[in-house]
Structure 1
Amino acid sequence: MVKTANDTRQRLVAATADMIRRRGLNATSVRELAKFANTPLGSTYHYFPGGKTQMVQEAIEWTQQSISGFLQKVFAEDPVQGLDDFLARWRVRLLQDEFNAGCPLLAVVMEEPANDDAKAGIQAASEAFRHWQATLAAMLMRHGLVEQEARSLAILSISALEGSIILCRAEKSLAPLDTVALELRALFIQKFPKP
C-alpha cells in the first residue's frame, strides 16, 4: 500500500494530539513529534510551515472534530446510552494508556502560557471545549431539554468527565471515572425517563 502525503500529514496531527495528552504542551517539541510519528523532521516543516503553533492548533481541531462526531453519533438515539458509550470510551482509553495520558485540550490549558504556542493552543482548546458543549447541548435538546437546561447539563457532563480523568491519572485508578459515571447516569435517567 502506498502512503500518501495526506497520510503523513494526518499522522503528524494525530501524533501531536497524542504527545500533548501524554507529555503536555511544553514538553512537546517538533523534533520529538517527528520521531514519535516516525516521519522525517523535514516533513513537519513541509506540512506545517507555521511550526509547532500550527501543529498544536490542528491537533486540537482534529481532537475537537473527532469528539464532536462521536458525541453526535452516540447521543443520536438515547441520551443515557450515549452517556454510557462516551464514558466507556474514556474508560478504555485510560486503561489502554495505563493512566499515562489524558485529554490534549486539558493538557494545553493546564500549562502556563509561556509563549505563542501555548497562547494559541489555549485559544484553540477553549474553542474546542465550547464546541463540545454546544454539540452535546444540541443533542440533549433533540431529546427534549430546553436550551438552558441542555447547556447546563452539557457543561456539567464535560467538566465532570475532564475532572475525573485528572483524578484517574493521579490515582492510577478508574474509581473517579466510575463515581462520575454513576452520578451522571442517575441525573440523565432523571432528565430523560423512558416512556
Structure 2
Amino acid sequence: MKNICVFCGSSQGKLPIFKQTAIDFAKILVQENCTLIYGEGRLGLMGIIADTVLESGGNAIGVIPDFMMDKEVAHQGLTELRITASMHERKYEMARLADGFAVLPGGMGTLDEMAEILTWNQLLILKKPIGILNVNGYYDPLLKMMDEMVNAGFLRPKGRELLLHSTEPAGLIGKLKDYVPGNDNIWNSIKRG
C-alpha cells in the first residue's frame, strides 16, 4: 500500500493523546514508506500529521478546494499540492489517489468523508480499505451505532465489516495493508419480488 489518505480533525481536540497518536501514526506511515494523502490543512490533527510526515522525511500530498486557499488554512511546504474547484472534487481526488483510508478523531467533516468512502465501498465504486484509529475510545459510540444499524436491519453485516478498526497506529496500518476486498455489494444481497 503506497498512498494512505487520512481523514481527521482540523482541531487538536482537548486531550493530549489525540495529538500524540497523530504524531505516532505519521511516523509509522513514513516507516512503512506510505505517502500521506490528506485534506491539505495546516491546523489541528491534519497539520500535525503533515508536519510530522515531512519532518520524518516522508511525502505529503494535500488536496484543497480553491475557496479554502483564501482562508489561509493551506499548509505550505508539502511534497505536492492539488487544488480543486469544490469540496466534492476534493473528496473524489483524495479517493482516486489513495490505496486505503485511515480515520483519526475529528468532527463532522471527518464523519462525512468516512461515510462517503464506506458507501462507495458498499456499492463497489471503490474497493479500498478504510479503518478508524479508535483513540482513547473516541469512536466507541460510532462502532456501537453501526452494530445497532445491523441489529435494526438498516446495515447488512457485510457493510459493517467494511469499517476496520484498531486502537494502535501500527495495528490499523497493518489491517489496511492486509485487507482483501470482497466481490459482494449491497445489491447482490437484496431480495427481489
Say yes or no: TM over 0.5: no
Q: Which has the higher strand share?
A: 2
TM-score scaled to structure 2, two decimals? Answer: 0.34
Q: Which has the higher helix share?
A: 1
Rg comparison, structure with higher value: 1
